């Protein structure tokens, strides 16, 4: 049986450029969308250009901004690890009905159902 570790604990999860890009892709967010959510939820100024540069490994984000980005993403996704393979999945929300986690993530992201 394969073991897959899933965590949404910021003390355990670290954010790599690849994980950031994968989470954004899963949510259908642009770098600007992610920067906007960080501003709205954490009150931290940043830009889509900064997010893109981080994902391109051209810059390192400040620790407070990195923590804010991670906190925003962990509200709707979980990062997984199986051996040396990282992944990202939508977080399961405690809503009733078929596809509730998918609908909740899309609603939160401002995307159509």
pLDDT score at 14: 79
pTM of the model: 0.73
pLDDT score at 70: 92
* DSSP, residue by residue, 69-96: HHHHHHTTEEEEEETTEEEEEEPPPS--
Instruction: Specify the higher pLDDT residue, 98 or 111.
Output: 111
Q: Which structural domains are found in the chain, ordered by start?
A: 14-108 (1.10.260.40)
């Amino acid at each position: 049986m394969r073991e897959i570790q899933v965590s949404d604990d910021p003390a355990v999860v670290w954010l790599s450029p690849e994980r950031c890009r994968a989470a954004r892709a899963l949510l259908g967010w642009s770098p600007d969308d992610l920067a906007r959510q960080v501003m709205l939820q954490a009150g931290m100024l940043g830009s889509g250009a900064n997010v893109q540069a981080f994902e391109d490994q051209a810059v390192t984000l400040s620790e407070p901004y990195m923590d804010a980005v991670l906190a925003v993403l962990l509200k709707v996704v979980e990062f997984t690890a199986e051996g040396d393979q990282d992944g990202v999945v939508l977080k399961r929300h405690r809503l009733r009905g078929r596809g509730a986690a998918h609908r909740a993530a899309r609603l939160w992201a401002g995307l159509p159902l």
